[in-house]
Structure 1
Amino acid sequence: MARTSLRAVAVAGGTALALLGTTTPPAAGKPAGGITTVTHDEQITWQGWSGTGWSAGTAAGTTGTSAGLTLTAPVGTVAYRDPHTGIRRNWAYGTWTSPLTQVGFGATELVASWNADTPAGTWLQIEVQGSYTTGTRTPWYVLGRWAAGDGDIKRTSVDKQGDKTSSVWTDTLAINNPAAGVLLRAYQLRATLYRDPASTGTPVLRSLGAMSSTVPDRYTVAPSAGHIAWGTELAVPRYSQNIHAGQYPEYGGGGEAWCSPTSTEMVVEYWGRKPSAADTSWVNPTYLDPTVDHAARMAYDWQYDGTGNWPFNTAYAATYPGLEAKVTRLHSLDEVEHFIAAGIPVVTSQSFLASELDGAGYGTAGHLMVVVGFTTTGDVIANDPASPNDAAVRHVYHRDQFEQIWLRTRRTTANGGTGSGSGGVVYLIKPTNVAWPAVAGSTNW
């Protein structure tokens, strides 16, 4: 399946991973151990706006309140021809643009994510403009055209965006050649809210932010210390993607490729939310776990032609009342343990050969699963959707193996070539009334 993207097609039912830009020769990560003292080679930060934070930006036709950003007085109308349906419609619109935001270091990647409600007849677009360390700027890049449903527009990323220094790969703004020394110093995000001109409805953008990071090329990382949540396992529902094999191939090739929405749905339902019977009424009644089919449809990216768009998955999770979600990176399994100790499961993105993760029984160029706990000896307990049935989803993976395949950015493929790794990408999903764990030195959530 051809895509104009650096993302690799999944193997064994996995989703896809964004390739990091090429940097200097591979280097092993420094130890990430310790509960309060942390040393890392990578730099990660999360910055965002919500609540009263909208006042920091520039609004045109939109109004920000504690409930979110809404379209109150459209500044005009614009025609949008949906590239996936050919339908051309006029839309009233307004914008909000963030202040120029300093990353605090030279970043090589940026991934935005958002939480929003889009009633029928509304949708939104998220863009970014980066500022390089040279002082010049990127074009305005589209990071997503999004609606919670698919009745008004087809949810989509945009291909073929870039200049000589950076490119957008599905959902990730990446520096093409970090070794050249030109990196991302700052950025602005812009949200455009759309509605049918004949309607008074509005999208509600409840939060908007971005993870900026620099993760060096590395084939290995030093193990973390642990002992933070050993012996803790969260009661996360178990769903297999593989029981959906052959279902709805129009959504990314069918259920065998649905690791991302299956993982997302497990966490959504852990928090007591789920699609209603009306939401899943379109699903063949003979299919098991119809909420997974629904999650796949509502995370599907028509341009990427798959369900593995990271912020589309977290945006789907945040459509449920009281939930918030974001895409970021974590430094180590120690940080994951802090989330587990706080009662928050973590969706992780990794790639590996079958020989690199004992007990998995498959290899993949990109796959997501849910870390739900740790054994009394510190091994990882994961709900792995690449399992033959729901009962088989719970796996225990060796801590050292799991940490390597999740945190590395480079790996050796089965044919001896070089493949990519996610560098610690996660989905973080929780209720708004549950606090983020406090970890000294971490600004990445």
Structure 2
Amino acid sequence: MPSRPTPRRTVLAAALGAAATSLAASSAPLAFASSGASGPSRAGSASIDYHAWTSDDDWRRGTAEGTRPAGGGRTGLVIDRPAGTMEHTDPHTGTKAAWEYATWTSPVRTPPAPASEVIASWNAHAPAGTWLQTEVRGRYSDGTRTPWYVMGRWTAGDGPGDIRRTSVDGQGDGRSSVNTDTLAVGKPATGLRIASYELRLTLFRKPGTRLTPTVRRLGVMGSDVPDRFTVPASVPGPGAGHELRVPGYSQEIHKGQYPEYDNGGEAWCSPTSSQMALEYWGRKPTAADLAWVDPAYADPQVCHAARFTYDYQYKGCGNWPFNAAYAATYHDMQAVVTRLGSLGDAEKLIRARIPVITSQSFLAAELDGAGYGTAGHLMCVIGFTAQGDVVVNDPNSPSNAAVRRVYKRRQFETIWLRTKRHNAQGEVRSGSGGVCYLYFPAEPDERQRRALQELGIR
């Protein structure tokens, strides 16, 4: 059964379907840019640029209004003194409350190649009584600007005094729009792109307290992946023959459990994949964290992950940055949302002992052995066979024992890396274009650090 009932990437896919089918399928390789200073990307007609602000120097390069970097281990951005107080009415609870706030605006990021899509992600600690908002503003290739777009209102918890974490619908200026967690140019065929962008963080707390969120990583991925129904075939590399010992969890055994979180377990592919990757790194909820879960339920940590990744506007657990933010609430964990350009890039990470959570859409006939089709589904890539086929923990499996699957390399790279596909009715729909989540320790080892840096992640 599909893990996500409807696709939500590139919302203009249907409207542009006729034009898309007339385009020649691109087979250009994707090039990556460094997350450091801007510079030329590797050879290729498209680029993926991930950049993050994480250090004391990074935070000081931005424009602060009431925020400051704080040390004590990993440097993070915190409220120093409120810049003001505002009232906010939570659209999901109707609660109106006053909040003190402070802001930080990043330097302008100019990627090596202009972007057609932008995705922000963040790693933060947000105790009860605090929350944060992340916004992006772009400059188009014609020199005009987008509005400030809200990319998420987030807090770790959902207690009685907390807001409900949420994306914001209805944002657009006729040239670009936000679809849950992705800012996209509406008509990329016109040549319009986002040439640069800046991010703004607003940190909130209850008035009169000394509480503060702590943001330890603010990341942004800009990309210009070509519209394509097929992708270049890759050749197995040094990562072939490596497999990581990642615990396997089925989302399907949670059917009917906590339907208030995206209809129960049958739609929990994203938090289930996140939980598998987290436990690979030795992180899981405590017994106290899980006390709310019915003790009759197996794998209560999967229920926990679903609850605390749930997006109250999207009404689902598949918000990409919310999953990364959840992963980073665990001790000394970092998490990013980015794109990869090939299975070769995934092999590098597997060889460095970093699992890769991938997003893909496909018909049942397009992925042998899956036994289902889906408008959108997350899996955890845990290795490659000696022949280069892809070993995954697929949460859309009837039991934990059945989660490990081997999928054909060519089929998997197509369904993951393409941006266009046909559904069962022959209509053009979107694909993720190589989106993935990467979770790794605050202090990765040297091999892991090198592999991440090769993909522009520091």
Shared fold per TM-score greater than 0.5: yes
Structure 2 counterparts to residues 18-417 of structure 1, below 5 A: 18-20=8-10, 25-30=23-28, 39-52=43-56, 53-66=58-71, 67-151=75-159, 152-417=162-427
Amino acid in the other structure paired with 1:132 = Y
Q: Is the 8 A contact 2:236 2:387 kept in 1?
A: no
Q: TM-score, normalised by structure 1?
A: 0.94
Amino acid in the other structure paired with 1:43 = S
Q: Is the 8 A contact 2:30 2:48 kept in 1?
A: no
* Residue segments in structure 2 that go unaligned for 5+ positions in a row: 32-40
Q: Is the 8 A contact 2:358 2:380 kept in 1?
A: yes
Distance 2:456 2:202 in 1: 27
* Equivalent residue number for residue 3 of structure 2: 13
Could you say if the C-alpha distance between residues 235 and 38 of structure 1 is closer, same or farther in structure 2, counting changes exceeding 3 Å? farther
Distance 2:338 2:453 in 1: 17
Distance 2:54 2:316 in 1: 29
Amino acid in the other structure paired with 1:56 = R
Equivalenced residue count is: 432
Q: Is the 8 A contact 1:110 1:213 kept in 2?
A: yes
C-alpha displacement of 1:28: 2.8
Q: Is the 8 A contact 1:70 1:202 kept in 2?
A: yes
Amino acid in the other structure paired with 1:113 = S
Superposed CA deviations along residues 309-357 of structure 1, whole A, max 9, x for unmatched, are 0000000000001100010000000000000000000000001010110
C-alpha displacement of 1:223: 1.1
Stretch moving more, 15-24 or 63-72: 15-24
Say what the alpha-carbon RMSD is for the aligned residues: 1.8
Could you say if the C-alpha distance between residues 439 and 93 of structure 1 is closer, same or farther in structure 2, counting changes exceeding 3 Å? closer
Q: Indicate which of 408, 423, 431 corresponds to 2:433.
A: 423
Distance 1:83 1:343 in 2: 42
Q: Is the 8 A contact 2:389 2:408 kept in 1?
A: yes
Q: Is the 8 A contact 1:32 1:225 kept in 2?
A: no
* Equivalent residue number for residue 443 of structure 1: 456
C-alpha displacement of 1:42: 2.8
SS of aligned partner of 2:253: helix
C-alpha displacement of 1:442: 4.0
Could you say if the C-alpha distance between residues 50 and 215 of structure 1 is closer, same or farther in structure 2, counting changes exceeding 3 Å? same
Superposed CA deviations along residues 44-93 of structure 1, whole A, max 9, x for unmatched, are 00011011210110000100134200001001111010000000110111
SS of aligned partner of 1:47: strand
Distance 1:237 1:120 in 2: 30
Distance 1:444 1:199 in 2: 35
* Equivalent residue number for residue 37 of structure 2: none
Stretch moving more, 289-298 or 22-31: 22-31
Amino acid in the other structure paired with 1:50 = T
Amino acid in the other structure paired with 1:438 = A
Distance 1:31 1:142 in 2: 31
Amino acid in the other structure paired with 2:108 = L
Q: Is the 8 A contact 1:338 1:437 kept in 2?
A: no
C-alpha displacement of 1:13: 2.4
SS of aligned partner of 2:245: coil
Could you say if the C-alpha distance between residues 144 and 122 of structure 1 is closer, same or farther in structure 2, counting changes exceeding 3 Å? same
Superposed CA deviations along residues 115-157 of structure 1, whole A, max 9, x for unmatched, are 0000111110000111111111111110000001112010000
C-alpha displacement of 1:240: 0.2
C-alpha displacement of 1:27: 2.1
Distance 1:408 1:87 in 2: 42
Amino acid in the other structure paired with 2:456 = T
SS of aligned partner of 2:215: strand
Could you say if the C-alpha distance between residues 439 and 303 of structure 1 is closer, same or farther in structure 2, counting changes exceeding 3 Å? closer
Amino acid in the other structure paired with 1:45 = D
Distance 1:17 1:64 in 2: 38
SS of aligned partner of 1:126: strand
Amino acid in the other structure paired with 2:367 = L
Q: Is the 8 A contact 2:62 2:105 kept in 1?
A: yes
SS of aligned partner of 2:451: coil
Q: Is the 8 A contact 1:32 1:334 kept in 2?
A: no
Q: TM-score, normalised by structure 2?
A: 0.91
SS of aligned partner of 1:402: helix
Q: Is the 8 A contact 2:28 2:46 kept in 1?
A: no
Superposed CA deviations along residues 265-288 of structure 1, whole A, max 9, x for unmatched, are 000111000011111111111011
Distance 1:43 1:205 in 2: 27
Q: Is the 8 A contact 1:233 1:373 kept in 2?
A: yes
* Residue segments in structure 1 that go unaligned for 5+ positions in a row: 1-10
Q: Is the 8 A contact 1:17 1:349 kept in 2?
A: no
Amino acid in the other structure paired with 2:25 = A
Q: Is the 8 A contact 1:16 1:367 kept in 2?
A: no
